[in-house]
Amino acid sequence: MSFGETPITVVGNLTSDPELRYTPSGQALAKFTIAATPRTFDRENNQWKDGTSTFFRCAAWRTLAEHIAGSLAKGSRVVAFGRIRQHNWQTPEGENRSMLALEIDDIGASMRFTTVTIDGKRTQSAPASDAWATAGSPAPAPAGDEPPF
């Protein structure tokens, strides 16, 4: 991420299946929309109420795009991290247009309301014993020690 970019984390549900395309140079691009809907508890009626949804148009590139298209579908609850990008263009009639979109850097299934299964396929060439170092995370504590959290 470059200096001055606007990072954002969004939690919500996909409004449709991701659309996977390839650029003329062969780069994968996944486009999808995440709907984030706040919920509040109404104590008078003793029930949850949905607020106004915010829709985030998203794009992911390369391997991440292929993983998203192969793993997520309409209704999937996700936690997505990325950067806000402004796109400007001109219509055929000469009108200037712009929109904000979220360029995804990482995304995962939310486990707040469901369970998920990770298939464990690795795309990195590091041996399994080196997985923590490859991921840039601290190594797990040796067996018998207290967990770090």
Does residue 99 form part of some domain?
Answer: yes
Please tell me the distance from the alpha carbon of residue 109 to that of residue 126, in angstroms, as a whole number: 24
pLDDT tens over the chain, length 149 residues = 567 788 999 999 999 999 999 999 999 999 999 999 999 999 999 999 999 999 999 999 999 999 999 999 999 999 999 999 998 999 999 999 999 999 999 999 999 888 888 777 655 544 444 443 444 444 444 444 444 44
**Residue 124 lies in domain:** 7-135
Does residue 146 form part of some domain?
Answer: no
Number of domains in the chain: 1
* pTM of the model as a whole: 0.73
What are the structure tokens assigned to 87, written together? 């796109």
CB 78 within 8 A of CB 110: yes
Does residue 2 form part of some domain?
Answer: no
Residues 6 or more apart in contact with residue 15 via CB below 8 angstroms = 32, 33, 34, 35, 55, 74
Does residue 23 form part of some domain?
Answer: yes
Question: 86-122: per-residue pLDDT in tens?
Answer: 989 999 999 999 999 999 999 999 998 888 887 776 5
| CATH number for position 95 | 2.40.50.140
Dihedral-angle region of residue 65 (phi above 0 means left; psi in -120 to 50 means alpha; beta otherwise):
alpha
Does residue 140 form part of some domain?
Answer: no
